[in-house]
């Protein structure tokens, strides 16, 4: 029977020879991740079940990234509550306030393995499909059942495969590609589908750029984002894990597979305009829009190559006096690499604020919030009303290149200028 990547992984996890879209399977979970914001409810729900111990403390990852360091008494108490849970349950993989954003730290630390099923109490868990896993966000009560049993049921999703072809132009990146796709099919255009990214353009992308693609699968309604394993994947995993793994590929004649062809030869930098991620326009249509803040970071575009692109544009220049620019590396590992390469000096000299690895203003609950009437240009993944502070503020989404160029000019700017 011909199957998609998603079908093959879920079949294997459920101990089945085959499965197909629409069927219900009970999957064995390989990795279960929760963080400081959603973790407390997951734990409290688990405690209500009445089970004394989690099913496997080696397969649970607890991470603090949303409100780090604690920005309120409530956040501090949440941290204390989760640390107590980690100690009591002897959770092996605990990353306190110092490591960074969960969707960057998990792959860095070798928790993301091709062919495995990964769940997290965060909607952007779909990022990890960039390494050939089936990864998806779940609710806190679902996570409680995973903690207790190590299992979770899924309806097997259909797959939409984006065959991306063409050569990306100057200062056009995977963020522009995925924003363009979302703009075409809409925020609900791939509802409960596995969004698989293929084609030569995807093959040419770095792992970091593929992570950005899969990260935003949820923004088109997708259940997960996925990229087939290749040599780049294998090279990324070297030194991060010693586990053996299965590299599944989609059969082109699978019944549940739909293919969309995307030509990026003439693609220009893309901007998601307020207040929806599918309100996407070319940068030339919004060029000149005044901004108050630029946020370079998040689980979408806070990786080393994003910082490198931004630093290249900012070197020897100054952030506009009318703009606050926040630079937040996605992890401590990236922060260290950026320091070694001198990128942080470029940002500081340009007048940007460099913060500790965390989610920053992305969730609208930590540093860098927007006031009423203010406008932000952000490399993150969502721009709903109130997402980064006041519901009367506006958030535009872009790549790191657009963000850096715009910080200099004080208005949305085409980096190709």
Work out the burial of residue 179: count CB atoms within 10 Å of its CB; fewer than 13 is exposed, 13-18 middle, 19 or more buried. buried
Which distant-in-sequence residues (6+ apart) come within 8 Å of 135 by Cβ? 112, 117, 118, 119, 120, 125, 126, 127, 128, 129, 224, 225
**DSSP secondary structure code for residue 100 in this structure:** B
The verdict on whether residue 195 carries a ligand-binding annotation is no
**DSSP H or E segment with residue 314:** helix 304-314
Peptide bond into 69 cis (omega under 30): yes
Q: Taking the CB of residue 288, how many other CB atoms lie within 10 A of it?
A: 10
Strands 224-226 and 193-198 come out as parallel
What are the two backbone dihedrals, phi and then psi, of residue 301, each rounded to the nearest 5 degrees? -140, 50
d(CA 87, CA 203): 42
Maximum Cα–Cα distance across the chain: 61
Tell whether residue 362 is among the known ligand binding residues: yes
Q: CA 33, 35, 37 angle in degrees (round to 5)? A: 140
Q: Binding site membership: which residues?
A: 299, 359, 362
Q: Binding site membership for [4Fe-4S] cluster: which residues?
A: 299, 359, 362
């Amino acid at each position: 029977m011909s199957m998609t990547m998603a079908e093959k992984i879920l079949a294997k996890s459920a101990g089945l020879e085959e499965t197909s879209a629409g069927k219900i399977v009970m999957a064995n979970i390989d990795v279960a991740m929760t963080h400081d914001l959603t973790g407390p409810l997951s734990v409290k729900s688990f405690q209500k079940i009445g089970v004394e111990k989690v099913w496997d403390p080696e397969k649970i990852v607890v991470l603090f990234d949303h409100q780090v360091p604690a920005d309120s008494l409530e956040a501090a108490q949440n941290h204390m509550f989760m640390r107590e849970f980690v100690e009591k349950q002897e959770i092996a993989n605990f990353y306190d306030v110092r490591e960074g954003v969960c969707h960057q730290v998990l792959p860095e630390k070798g928790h993301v393995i091709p062919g495995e099923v990964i769940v997290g109490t965060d909607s952007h868990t779909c990022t990890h499909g960039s390494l050939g896993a089936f990864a998806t966000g779940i609710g806190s009560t679902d996570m409680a059942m995973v903690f207790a049993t190590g299992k979770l049921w899924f309806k097997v999703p259909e797959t939409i495969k984006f065959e991306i072809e063409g050569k990306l132009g100057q200062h056009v990146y995977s963020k522009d590609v995925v924003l363009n796709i979302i703009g075409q099919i809409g925020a609900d255009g791939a509802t409960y589908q596995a969004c698989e990214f293929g084609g030569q353009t995807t093959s040419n992308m770095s792992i970091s750029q593929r992570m950005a693609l899969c990260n935003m699968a949820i923004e088109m309604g997708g259940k997960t984002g996925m990229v087939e394993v290749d040599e780049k994947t294998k090279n990324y995993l070297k030194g991060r894990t010693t586990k053996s793994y299965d590299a599944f590929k989609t059969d082109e004649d699978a019944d549940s597979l739909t293919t969309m062809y995307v030509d990026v030869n003439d693609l220009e930098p893309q901007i998601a305009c307020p207040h929806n991620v599918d309100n996407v326009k070319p940068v030339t249509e919004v060029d000149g829009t005044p901004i108050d803040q630029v946020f370079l970071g998040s689980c979408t575009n806070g990786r080393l190559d994003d910082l490198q692109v931004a630093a290249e544009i900012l070197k020897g220049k100054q952030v506009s006096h009318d703009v606050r620019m926040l630079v937040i590396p996605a992890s401590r590992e990236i922060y260290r690499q950026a320091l070694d390469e001198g990128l942080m000096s470029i940002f500081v000299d340009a007048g940007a604020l460099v913060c500790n690895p965390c989610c920053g203003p992305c969730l609208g609950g930590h540093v860098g919030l927007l006031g009423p009437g203010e406008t932000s240009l952000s490399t993150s993944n969502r721009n709903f009303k109130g997402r980064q502070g006041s519901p009367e503020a506006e958030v535009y989404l872009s790549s790191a290149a657009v963000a850096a160029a715009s910080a200099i000019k004080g208005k949305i700017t085409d980096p190709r200028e």
